[in-house]
Amino acid sequence: MQPEAPAQPAFRDPDQPLDKRVDDLIARLTNEEKISQMLHACAPIPRLGIPAYDHWNEGLHGVGRNGCATVFPQVIGLAATWDAALVKRLATAISDEARAKHHAALRRQGETAQYQGLTFWSPNINIFRDPRWGRGQETWGEDPVLTGALASAFVAGMQGDDPHQLKTAACAKHFAVHSGPEKDRHSFDAVVSAHDLWDTYLPAFEQLVREAKVEIVMGAYNRTLGEPCCASRFLLIDILRERWGFSGHVVSDCWALSDIHNHHRVTSDPVETAALALKRGCDLSCGCTFDLLGEALSRGLIAEADLDRGLARHLRTRFRLGLFDPPDLGPWSTLPEKVVGCARHARLAYEAALRSCVLLKNRAGILPLRTDLRSVYITGPMASSFEALLGNYHGVPARGVTLLEGLVAALPEGVRVDYRPGCLAADAKRNELQWAEFEAARCDVTIACLGLTALLEGEEGDAISSGSRGDREDVLLPAVQLEFLKRLLDRGAKVVVVLTGGSAMSLGDLTERVEAILWAGYPGQEGGRAVADLLLGRASPSGRLPVTFYKRIRDLPPFEDYSMRGRTHRWFEGEPEFPFGFGLGYARVRYGAARIPARVNADSALRVSVEVTNEGTCAVEEVVQVYLADYRMPDGDMGPVPRETLVAWRRIRLAPGKSRRVVFTIPPSIRKLVTPEGARQRIPESFDVVIGAASPHPRAVELGAPEPVRGRVAIKPVGGFAKGRAVRGRA
C-alpha cells in the first residue's frame, strides 16, 4: 500500500477561501519570518518554498525602471486627453507588459527583484495645486473630478476584471495633501481647512477607494493637520478604514517612516516610529524601520496581533495576485514576452500622444503648415532631446521618435529642412556667436522646440539640473530659452513653438509675438511622430488643458500655503494665460441651442444637452465640457463658493459639416457644495449650467474657443417642482 501524499497546506490551495489561506500562512510563520515580510523587499522563506518578493514597482505611464517597455505620454498629458476609455486601454497595455515581464523574471530567476513585481505604486492622484511642484507632471491635473474619473479608469486597466485574481495591484498615492515643495516634503505640516480637505484634496482618493476598489494606498512623507501621514489615525483609521471601508493595504512612501523621528519629531527613536506607524494603520514599510518591529514587540510597544493585522493586509494582496498559486493558474500567466513594446502598444502610444497635445495659439491659421512650404528651420534644445519625450518614472522604449526625427521624416522631399539646437535648456551659451537665429529668419517657418525635461522638474533626487530639488521657481521658461526665442523673433523669424514639460509655462511678453504654440507635455515614445502629424494637418489637435496656465507666478499665493483660495480654475480670480479645459483645433466648431431645464428638484438628476456642429473642412474630436458657475446660495450660507465646478464632459468625433446632440445627466450629489466643516451638503438656490469647449472664463473665447451656451437652473431644496419648461441658453 502506497503511503498517502502529505496534505497540501491550506495557504497553497487556490480552492480555499482567501481569509483561510492568509490565516494559515501567518500561523506557520515565526515572528522573525513575519517581520521579514514587513518591508517592501520581502525575504524568501525557504522552508515553506516562498521566494523573495519585492513590492516596489512603478507604472505611471508604462512599466518603469525595468528595461524595455512601451512609454506612453506622461500622466499630465494623458489627463489632457480627457478620455477615460483611452486611459483604461492604455493601463491595460501597461498591465499586459507588467505581467509578461514578471513571469519572465520568475522563469529566469525563480523570484522577482525590485521593479519586477505586480504591486505598482501608481497612480499619483495628488491635486496639482501649484505649477511650481515638479512632480505635478505625474498627476491628472488640478481638478478633483477629472482626476477621480481618469485615475479610476487607470486603476481598472491595471487591476483587470477577473473576479478571482488581480492582474496587478494599483496604488493611490500620496495620502494626503502632498503637493510640494519637494525640498520640505520630509518635514512640512500641510495645514488645510476642513473645507479644502474634503472639497479638493480627498475626493479622488475616496473615489478610488470606494468605487475603483484600488488595492493599495500610499502614505505621504509630510504631516497633515499635525499627524505624520504614514502614522495618522485621522487619515488611515478614521477616514480610510472606518469611513471609506478600505480593505486593501497601506504602504509608506520610501523611507518616510524615518521622517517621523528625524524630521517630524513625533517619536523619540525608530522603534517607537515603527510601533506608532503599525498601530496607526501603516501595514508595509518601504525602505526602513519595520525591521525593528521585533524590538517593538519586546519593549511592549506593539502586540503580536498588531503585527499579524498589518501582515495579513498585504499578504491578502499577494494572494489576490496569485503569487502563492501554481505558476500557470490564472488568466495572466501566459501573456507572451513579445507583448512588451509590441507594435500594437506603439500604435496606442501614438494615439495617446495625438490626443494629449494641446494647441494653445494659432494666429491666422498658420497651422497646419501649408503644403507649398519651401523651407523649414527646426531649432531649440528639445528638438533632438530623448529626455523631452519621457518625463519621469519611465521605462526604456525599444524606439523613441524625437521631435526632430518626427518632423524630418514627415516633411516631404523638396522642402529644405535645417536644424541647429540654438540654445541649451537652462545654461547660458559660452560661444558669443550664434548662427541659428540668422538661418531661421531666412526660412518660411521656424519650429522652435522649447520647454523642460525631467532633469529640470520632477522628484527631489531625479531632477539633477534643478536648483530647487525638482521644483520650479517660475512659470516662465528658462531665461536662456526666452532670450533665444526673442532673438529669433527680433531677426524676423516666423516661429511656431512646441513646448515640452509637465506643467503650466509661459513665454511672457513673447506669447503675443509667436505664430502658434503647441503644448506637447512629455509625449512618450511616439511623441515626435504625433507632433509632426499635428503640425502638418494629418490630424487635428484635440487635447485640452488639465491645468490652468498662469501668466505670472506672482498671481499665485505662496507655494507653502495649502489653502485653495487663488488656485486652479475653481478658485483663481485673475486672468489666466490659457484657461483650464482650453485647446484649439483646426476646424470651427459651433455650440448650438442648449436644452437646460429652468428648475430641478434637489434630489433629482439634471439632464442637459447641446447640439455641437463641425463647421470646418476636416474631422475633429471635440471635448464637450459642462460646468456649474455663478452659484447663488441661500441667505445665511457664508461658506466658500467656487468660481466654477466641472461636472461632466464627453469626447466626440465630428465629420466636416456634421452635428451631434450631446446629452449629459448630472447627479444631485455633484451639485452640492462643501460646508466649512467638510460635509458635502450645501444646496445652492440656483446656478448657471455652462456647456462649452473650455472652462467658462471669458479668456477662452478671446483666445478662439467657441462661444459656450448657458442656462440658469433653480433648485428647490425640499419636495419638487411641477415640470418646467426648458430654456435655450447662450453666453
Instruction: Tell me the pLDDT tens digit for each residue of 67-87.
Output: 999 999 999 999 999 999 999
Per-residue pLDDT, 726: 37
Mind listing the pLDDT tens digit for each residue in 458-472? 999 999 999 999 999
Check residue 712 and report its DSSP letter: E
Is residue 645 pLDDT above 60, yes or no? yes
Residue 253 annotated in active site: yes
Same domain, 475 and 611: no
Q: Do 609 and 541 share a structural domain?
A: no
Q: Which residue has the cell 523570484?
A: 111
pLDDT tens for 257-286 read 999 999 999 999 999 999 999 999 999 999
Residue 599 belongs to a domain: yes
8 or 204, greater pLDDT:
204
Which residues form the domain of 253? 172-302
Cβ(63)–Cβ(101) below 8 Å = yes
Identify whether residues 280 and 392 lie together within a single domain: no
Q: What is the pLDDT of residues 554-592, one digit of tens each?
A: 999 999 999 999 999 999 999 999 999 999 999 999 999
Question: So what's the pLDDT on residue 727?
Answer: 37
Over the stretch 440-496, which tens digit does the pLDDT of each residue have? Answer: 999 999 999 999 999 999 999 999 999 999 999 999 999 999 999 999 999 999 999
List, in order, residues 6 or more apart from 586 with CB less than 8 Å away: 367, 368, 537, 540, 541, 616, 618, 620
Window from 410-424, 426-440, 596-610, 695-709 with minimum mean pLDDT: 426-440
Q: Are residue 439 and residue 542 in the same domain, yes or no?
A: yes
Question: Would you say residue 686 lies in a domain?
Answer: yes
How many domains, in total, are found in the chain? Answer: 3
pLDDT at 725: 39
**What burial class does residue 71 get, using C-beta atoms within 10 Å of its C-beta: 0-12 exposed, 13-18 middle, 19+ buried?**
buried
Q: What is the DSSP letter of 57?
A: B
CB 723 within 8 Å of CB 592: no
Query: Residue 150's pLDDT is what?
Result: 99
Position 397 pLDDT exceeds 90: yes
Q: What is the pLDDT of residues 126-147, one digit of tens each?
A: 999 999 999 999 999 999 999 9
Distance of alpha carbon 297 from alpha carbon 38, whole angstroms: 14
Instruction: Determine the pLDDT at residue 4.
Output: 60
pLDDT for the residue numbered 2:
60
Strand order in the sheet with 589-597: 659-666, 606-614, 589-597, 726-727
Q: Provide the terminal-to-terminal Cα distance of the chain, rounded to the nearest Å.
A: 89
d(CA 514, CA 577): 14
Instruction: In whole angstroms, give the CA distance from residue 393 to residue 731.
Output: 43
Cell numbers found for residue 461:
533626487
In a domain, 509, yes or no: yes
Residues 297 and 363 in one domain: no
448 beta partners:
379, 497
pLDDT at position 7 is: 80
CA distance 286 to 10: 29
Is residue 17 assigned to a domain? no
Mean pLDDT of 23-35: 98
Residues 406 and 543 in one domain: yes
| Averaged pLDDT score across all residues of the chain | 96
- Say what the pLDDT of residue 221 is: 98
Is 444 found in the same domain as 378?
Answer: yes
Q: Are strands 599-601 and 606-614 parallel, antiparallel or unpaired?
A: unpaired
pLDDT of residue 717: 74
Q: Which of 143, 253, 259, 308 is catalytic?
A: 253
Q: What is the per-residue pLDDT for 257?
A: 98
pLDDT tens digits, one per residue of 499-550:
999 999 999 999 999 999 999 999 999 999 999 999 999 999 999 999 999 9
pLDDT at 327: 86
Same domain, 567 and 596: no
Q: Are residues 438 and 389 in the same domain?
A: yes
pLDDT tens digits for 150-174?
999 999 999 999 999 999 999 999 9
Whole-angstrom distance, CA of residue 407 vs CA of residue 410: 5
Residue 434 scores a pLDDT above 90: no
Asked, for residue 145, whether it belongs to a domain, the answer is no
Burial 198-232 (b: 16+ CB within 10 A, else e): bbbbbbbbbbbbeebbbbbbbbbbbbbbebbbbbb
Residue 180 domain flag: yes
Specify whether the backbone of 325 is left (phi greater than 0), alpha (psi in -120 to 50) or beta: beta
Does residue 117 fall inside a structural domain? no
Q: Can you give the CATH number for the domain in which 284 is found?
A: 3.20.20.300
CA distances from 656 to 240, 588, 618, 620 (A): 49, 10, 5, 8
Determine the distance from the C-alpha atom of residue 333 to the mean position of all C-alpha atoms in its chain, rounded to a whole number: 28
532 and 644 share one domain: no
Q: What is the pLDDT of residues 88-125, one digit of tens each?
A: 999 999 999 999 999 999 999 999 999 999 999 999 99
Looking only at the bridges linking them, the beta strands covering 216-219 and 41-42 are: unpaired
Average pLDDT over residues 650-660: 98
Residues 421, 471, single domain; the answer is yes
Contact 267, 276 (CB under 8 A): yes
Task: Give domain status of residue 144, yes or no.
Answer: no
Mean pLDDT, residues 413-424: 97
